[in-house]
Amino acid sequence: MAVSSKKGDKSDILVPAHIGVIMDGNGRWAKKRLFPRKFGHREGAKTFKKIALAGKEMGVKYMTFYAFSTENWKRPKDEVDAIMKLFEDYLDDVSSFEKENIRLIFIGDRSRLSQNLRDKMKHAEDISRDFDSMTVILAVNYGGQSEICKSVREIAKMIKNDELDIDDIDEKLIEDNLYTRDIPPVDLIIRPSGEMRLSNFLIWQSAYAEYYFTDILWPDFKEKDLADAIKAFSDRSRRFGGI
Ligand code: FPP
């Protein structure tokens, strides 16, 4: 569900309530400059902060960023370690988000993450729990298919314990057992870097999302590019299966 922009100067723009961002192109950005790939992720982390704050300024209430997928473990160990270190460094300094009253949530399977990172994630969630200007969701060791399996397993347990009947299974019940249970569906998915696929990102939640693709590599993505994506969204006609 999208909400109208609060901005008087852009009153005709419909701002999506929830934007999902696939932060793609960090490796290519670094390669073009003959830097190691991890430099691209470091720039990508700076872009993440900038674009989250820009989203808040533009009136977006929820932004989910795909930071690490369940498939990304296949990358070389030094690249995976560098990305995990970026998460830790970022969580040591969430002050810019605190100042902006931004709530932080993590989705994904934490069991494979270091205890230190898990503790920092929990701490960041705890201190920002009541912040209400915007919610930033970071998807870390996240996969949409495994999230749906998790939901199905939880429902199956309830059926096994006679707490539920098979006929009780509906969309709402599946949603209630996803990581995103309290978060509205995705209105707009943005994928930079020229790739045009969803890559197992929020596959349930984006059933009726609009898609915006651009060739810009994520580290080069600017506030203006976010505004362009929102404008493109606002110009679309969403019918949700109706006419
Ligand atoms: C995809 O680009 C990017 C990733 C798998 C990692 C994304 C992580 C970050 C931007 C760091 C996030 C940090 C914080 C603090 C949220 P790619 O490496 O696949 O790019 P390529 O397709 O050009 O190789």
CATH number at residue 112: 3.40.1180.10
Q: Measured between alpha carbons, how far is residue 17 from residues 28, 75, 184, 229 in Å?
A: 30, 33, 8, 13
Return the best residue to mutate from 21, 22, 24, 117 for the ligand 1 pocket (most ligand atoms within 8 A of CB): 24
Q: Give yes or no: 132 in active site.
A: no
Give the Cα separation of 126 and 201 in Å (integer).
Answer: 25
pLDDT tens-digit profile of 107-116? 999 999 999 9
Give the Cα separation of 148 and 204 in Å (integer).
Answer: 8
Give the Cα separation of 222 and 219 in Å (integer).
Answer: 8
pLDDT tens-digit profile of 31-72? 999 999 999 999 999 999 999 999 999 999 999 999 999 999
Q: Label residue 6 by pLDDT band (50, 70, 90).
A: very low
Give the Cα separation of 90 and 98 in Å (integer).
Answer: 12
Q: What is the pLDDT of residue 96?
A: 81
The model carries a pTM of: 0.95
In a domain, 9, yes or no: no
Q: Give yes or no: 235 in active site.
A: no
- Could you tell me how many residues make up the chain? 243
In a domain, 207, yes or no: yes
Residues with CB under 6 A from ligand 1: 23-28, 41, 44-45, 48, 67, 72, 83, 86-87, 90, 138, 193
Q: Which of 201, 217, 219, 171 is nearest to 19 (CA)?
A: 201
Looking up tokens 């197992």, which residue turns up? 200
Whether the predicted pLDDT of 205 surpasses 90: yes
Q: Using the 8-state DSSP alphabet, how is residue 47 labeled?
A: H
Q: Measured between alpha carbons, how far is residue 96 from residues 90, 104, 221 in Å?
A: 10, 12, 20
For the stretch 163-192, what's the b/e string if a residue is b when 16 or more beta carbons lie within 10 angstroms of its beta carbon?
eeeeeeeeeeebbebbbbeebbbbbbbbbb
In a domain, 174, yes or no: no
Q: Which domain holds residue 214?
A: 16-144+187-232
Question: Per DSSP, what are the bridge partners of residue 22?
Answer: 66
Looking at the structure of the chain, the number of domains it has is: 1
Give the Cβ contact number of residue 116 at 10 Å.
11
Q: Which of 185, 104, 188, 109 is nearest to 147 (CA)?
A: 109
Kindly give the number of the ligand 1 atom that is closest to the alpha carbon of 217: 23
Give the Cα separation of 208 and 211 in Å (integer).
Answer: 10
In a domain, 96, yes or no: yes
In a domain, 165, yes or no: no
pLDDT tens-digit profile of 144-160? 999 999 999 999 999 99
Tell me which amino acid residue 94 is: V
In a domain, 166, yes or no: no
In a domain, 239, yes or no: no
In a domain, 128, yes or no: yes
